[in-house]
Amino acid sequence: MTVVGAGLVGSLLATVLAKLGFEVDLFERRVDMRKEAISAGRSINLAMSVRGLYALEKLGVHEQIMTKAIAMPGRIIHPISGPTVFQRYGKDDSECIYSISRGELNKMLMTYAESTEKVKIHFQEKLIKADLDKKTLSFQNDKTQKEITTPFVRVFGTDGSASVLRHTLRDDFGHEESESLLSHGYKELNMACGPHGSFKMEKHGLHIWPRGSYMLIALPNYEGSFTCTLFLSNQGSLSFETLNSQEKIEAFFREQFPDVVPLIPDFVEQFITHPTGQMVTVKAYPWHHSDDVVLLGDAAHAIVPFFGQGMNCGFEDVAVLWNMILKAAPDLKKISWGPLFEEFSKSRKPNGDAIADLAVNNFVEMRDKVADKPFLMAKEVEKILEKEFPGEYMSRYRLVSFSRIPYRIALEAGKLEDEILSELCSGIKEACEVDLVKAKRLIQIDLIPLLRRAFQEA
């Protein structure tokens, strides 16, 4: 088996294939990050939730990984002035998302892959061409610039959002592909830890400074620092383009994020020197070609990061494919890979599309609505419904982050919930005034049957 891309998804997949008994060649264009440091300002930490954890648990590696994770039971909202507000994600502390270092996780997954003794990772080998008719892959070595062409039997494309393998499917076989760039970019700033490795803010929470058309967020890192990410328009009157001098950057932060300024003394320097990242939504179909190649992770469905689900969705891809392989044949030599890849691609695609849409919608919620009064009342009503109708009403956020029902159902359920909440909130001033008899009637019409079907499916 050949896997291209030793990022989070490729390293996990290679380990799974090895556990199934296959020999795996894993090609990665970058250097071995366990030996060389990764550059600052590039997506330092990620939120991991149930779907990602499920794959790690299935592999039996989650306990060790979780020793490096920090629980985040809710959002901590920072207004421009006044005290912070905690908004819980789930029903209690048992429903948390977890902040984990992307680099540390990737390193651990590579080490797990190698420890199977069936995975050989070839670093600094960049895939430059795939010829699916001749069944060859061409790689260029980053150090020597030497090109090699090697035959393959079966290739798994986990080469990220700009996947060469996806482009090959598009160019050589006319597969659908769309790439839409978000008008906002992002910049990461590091809030170093305080004295003796202390956290400068509450460590158990995802901090958000919602400011309408832009926002700052911060996730805790295991060793006491926070990674802060500013999401801001690339162009326009207030944008990365116009924040182009020390004075403007300083004035912007002092005005909009006054509590952050003393916590990151070198924020101006970091802002100027760190790269501005771009975010893309990729939709493609099919994700496979015959029994030769299949795409997983960002290569198949890159999404914007506002639901914290890109990696989680990629890990879920691996778990789903793994279950399909196990179901297909106890004798691995007899697997019909073409139909298996087709079933994988067909069943996962609607879920990839759904989480892509959910992620874009959550951007509006995070940057704009979390400080908005009608939105906050609707959230309070939602909490009451979750308490009064346990297992029957589950918020969209809980369905995505704390359950494994298909994303497409979470999207559908979320739309029904918006309608229910809007009807229940009209005419009331306080959440406690909500009409629970009406609520029960409304959720019984479509929501309960939809969720029942979904849980049976999952």
Ligand X SMILES: Cc1cc2nc3c(=O)[nH]c(=O)nc-3n(C[C@H](O)[C@H](O)[C@H](O)COP(=O)(O)OP(=O)(O)OC[C@H]3O[C@@H](n4cnc5c(N)ncnc54)[C@H](O)[C@@H]3O)c2cc1C
Q: What residues make contact with ligand X under the rule CB under 6 A? A: 4-10, 27-30, 43, 46-47, 126-127, 158-160, 164, 186, 229, 277, 297-299, 305, 308-312, 314
d(C-alpha 179, C-alpha 430), whole Å: 43
In the complex, which residue's CB is closest to ligand X? 7
Can you list the alpha helix ranges (DSSP code H) found in 3-152?
8-20, 50-59, 62-66, 102-115
Q: Which residue has the tokens 């892509």?
A: 356
- Residue 396: enclosing H or E segment and its boundaries? helix 396-401
Smallest distance, Å, CB 442 to ligand X? 32
Smallest distance, Å, CB 305 to ligand X? 3
- Name the residue among 32, 30, 27 with its Cα closest to residue 130: 27
Smallest distance, Å, CB 149 to ligand X? 14
SS (H, E, C) 71-103: EECEEEECCCCCCCEEEECCCCCCCCEEEEEHH
Smallest distance, Å, CB 238 to ligand X? 20
**By C-beta, is 256 or 401 nearer to ligand X?**
401
Query: How many C-beta neighbours within 10 Å does residue 83 have?
Result: 7
**By C-beta, is 123 or 393 nearer to ligand X?**
123
DSSP 383: H
d(C-alpha 157, C-alpha 274), whole Å: 29
Smallest distance, Å, CB 311 to ligand X? 3
- Name the residue among 146, 116, 95, 96 with its Cα closest to residue 24: 116
**By C-beta, is 55 or 264 nearer to ligand X?**
55
Smallest distance, Å, CB 158 to ligand X? 5
**By C-beta, is 311 or 447 nearer to ligand X?**
311
**By C-beta, is 8 or 201 nearer to ligand X?**
8
**By C-beta, is 127 or 371 nearer to ligand X?**
127
**By C-beta, is 345 or 439 nearer to ligand X?**
345
- Name the residue among 324, 302, 455 with its Cα closest to residue 391: 455
Which amino acid makes up residue 458?
A: A
Smallest distance, Å, CB 14 to ligand X? 11
d(C-alpha 31, C-alpha 393), whole Å: 47
